[in-house]
Amino acid sequence: MLPLQENPRKHLQVLDLQRPAPTKEAENSAKVSNSGGLPRQASRILCTAMRLAVPKGLNHLPDELLQQAIAELQ
């Protein structure tokens, strides 16, 4: 018999199922999710601006292009 087959229960550990207090990261993510979707809006603006920059061969996003992206999303 193999050593693990003798008594498989001796290798189990008791888990502490109490939940820890929320971390600062969790609290910050809750604040961000209640910020009216600003990260989502910023993501849409940046994605639109990058889409507009590709045909022009740009490797940066000038202010005019960001303004164009915002106008396109409104």
- pTM, rounded to two decimals: 0.52
Number of structural domains the chain divides into:
1
54 belongs to a structural domain = yes
Average pLDDT for the chain: 77
- 51 domain residue, yes or no: yes
Per-residue model confidence (pLDDT) at position 2: 52
Residue 3 located in a structural domain: no
- Of residues 6 and 18, the one with the higher pLDDT is 18
Residue 21 lies in a domain: no
Domain limits for position 64: 37-74
In a domain, 59, yes or no: yes
- Residues 22, 45: Cα–Cα separation, whole Å: 32
In a domain, 56, yes or no: yes
> Does 12 fall in a domain?
no
Longest dimension (CA), the chain: 74
* Interval 32-58 mean pLDDT: 85
Q: Which of 3-7, 28-32, 63-67 has the lowest mean pLDDT?
A: 3-7
